[in-house]
């Protein structure tokens, strides 16, 4: 019987995961999803301060991932997205009119 892979003690890496999770305002479940493990696996690893080799690799990806960039970067990206949506909303009537002209006045079903 194979069982779980052997876990290696790594308190530093576990502390880095917890620190990053708190900094990003993520729940344990959200963090586990980003790492690619079940929440109970992450909780056990953080509690025991030990990780399997595969989990160490996944945790390193999580810690180095631009998808988990700082909240300042995320806030800035969200502001940019909001500005783009506002511009699109202002342009919508003109875009609709132009498309209706191209389509010879065909009404689009909403």
List of domains in the chain: 8-68 (1.10.260.40)
Tell me the per-residue pLDDT of 32-44, one tens digit each, with 9 for 90 and over: 998 999 999 999 9
From residue 101, alpha-carbon distances to 67, 87, 88, 91 in Å are 42, 22, 19, 16
51: phi then psi, degrees, rounded to nearest 5: -135, 150
Mean pLDDT of the chain: 84
pLDDT band at 67 (very low <50, low <70, confident <90, very high): low
Quote the pLDDT of residue 17.
95
CB 63 within 8 A of CB 17: yes
**What's the whole-model pTM score?**
0.57
Rounded to an integer, the average pLDDT of 45-70 is: 85
């Amino acid at each position: 019987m194979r069982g779980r892979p052997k876990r290696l003690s790594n308190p530093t890496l576990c502390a880095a995961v917890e620190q990053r999770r708190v900094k990003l305002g993520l729940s344990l479940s959200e963090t586990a999803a980003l790492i690619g493990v079940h929440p109970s696996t992450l909780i056990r690893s953080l509690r025991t301060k030990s990780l399997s080799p595969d989990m160490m690799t996944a945790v390193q990806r999580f810690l180095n991932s631009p998808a988990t960039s700082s909240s300042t970067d995320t806030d800035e990206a969200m502001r940019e997205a909001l500005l783009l949506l506002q511009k699109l909303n202002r342009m919508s009537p003109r875009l609709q009119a132009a498309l209706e002209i191209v389509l010879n006045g065909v009404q689009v079903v909403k």
